[in-house]
């Protein structure tokens, strides 16, 4: 019996190093994880490939996907749709891969509602001071953009209670290891092993009866 994969949502503050950690996780454990690819109606940016960063679809195609229930969750930002196609996720889970969705909190909670055994991870820098420093260090953002990001981060932090784990990214290597082992350990949760436990229990009963 092949064990089903776990659906994992990873969210986090911008500045939490989320993107880097996900890349490392996927690179180090290519057979274990699959990264869910979102569909979007926005245009590809230079260097972006259809089926790699996103599935780039038309507004009509996206709305057809909504109608057919082909998306686990979707949302609209700045006049563009973003959503998680269901088929790819289900396929990968059936093949035993843990599927990682890198989405934000509103989407995460929709996924959890649809699939209650989803594992929700939230990544954070060690503190708000460090978060501000990382945003400033990027050097690409204006002061006002940073202020709005921090304000946004604060709003995001409102929903963290709904997550399972709050992982501090203090040291990149350690954080990659921690996220990996949290997901690995999740496979040993009693709630995910009812069939295995039932099997062992039935065997024990038969042995005890001398069968």
Binding region for its own copies (CB under 8 A): 122, 124, 127-129, 131-132, 147, 150-151, 153-154, 157-158, 160-168, 178, 181-182, 184-185, 188-190, 193-194, 196-197, 199-201, 203-208, 210
| Residue 81: other Cβ atoms inside 10 A | 21
| Residue 103: other Cβ atoms inside 10 A | 22
18-28 and 172-186 helices cross at what angle (nearest 10)?
A: 60
Is 114 or 147 the residue whose CB approaches its own copies more closely? 147
Q: How far is the CB of 128 from its own copies (least distance, A)?
A: 3
Q: Report the C-alpha gap between 196 and 201 in whole angstroms.
A: 9
Q: How far is the CB of 112 from its own copies (least distance, A)?
A: 13
Q: How far is the CB of 105 from its own copies (least distance, A)?
A: 12
Q: How far is the CB of 15 from its own copies (least distance, A)?
A: 11
Is 114 or 204 the residue whose CB approaches its own copies more closely? 204
Beta-carbon contacts of 6 under 8 Å, excluding residues fewer than 6 positions away, are: 93, 98, 99, 117, 118, 119, 183, 186, 187, 192
Q: Report the C-alpha gap between 208 and 206 in whole angstroms.
A: 5
Q: How far is the CB of 66 from its own copies (least distance, A)?
A: 31
Q: Is 120 exposed, middle or buried (0-12, 13-18, 19+ CB in 10 A)?
A: buried
Is 85 or 107 the residue whose CB approaches its own copies more closely? 107
Is 52 or 151 the residue whose CB approaches its own copies more closely? 151
Is 95 or 206 the residue whose CB approaches its own copies more closely? 206
130, two tokens: 């460090």
């Amino acid at each position: 019996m092949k064990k089903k994969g776990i659906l994992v949502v990873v969210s986090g503050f911008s500045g939490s190093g989320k993107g880097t950690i996900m890349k490392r996780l996927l690179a180090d454990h290519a057979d274990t994880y699959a990264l869910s690819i979102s569909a979007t109606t926005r245009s590809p940016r230079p260097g972006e490939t259809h089926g790699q960063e996103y599935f780039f679809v038309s507004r009509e195609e996206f709305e057809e996907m909504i109608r057919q229930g082909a998306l686990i969750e979707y949302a609209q930002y700045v006049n563009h749709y973003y959503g998680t196609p269901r088929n790819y996720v289900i396929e990968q889970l059936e093949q035993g891969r843990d599927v990682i969705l890198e989405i934000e909190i509103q989407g995460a909670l929709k996924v959890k509602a649809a699939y209650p055994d989803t594992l929700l991870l939230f990544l954070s820098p060690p503190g708000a001071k460090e978060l501000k420093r990382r945003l400033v260090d990027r050097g690409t953002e204006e002061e006002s953009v940073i202020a709005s990001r921090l304000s946004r981060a604060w709003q995001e932090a409102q929903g963290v209670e709904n997550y399972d784990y709050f992982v501090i990214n203090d040291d990149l290597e350690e954080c990659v290891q921690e996220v990996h082992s949290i997901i690995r350990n999740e496979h040993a949760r009693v709630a995910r092993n009812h069939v295995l436990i039932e099997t062992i229990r039935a065997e024990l009963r038969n042995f005890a009866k001398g069968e």
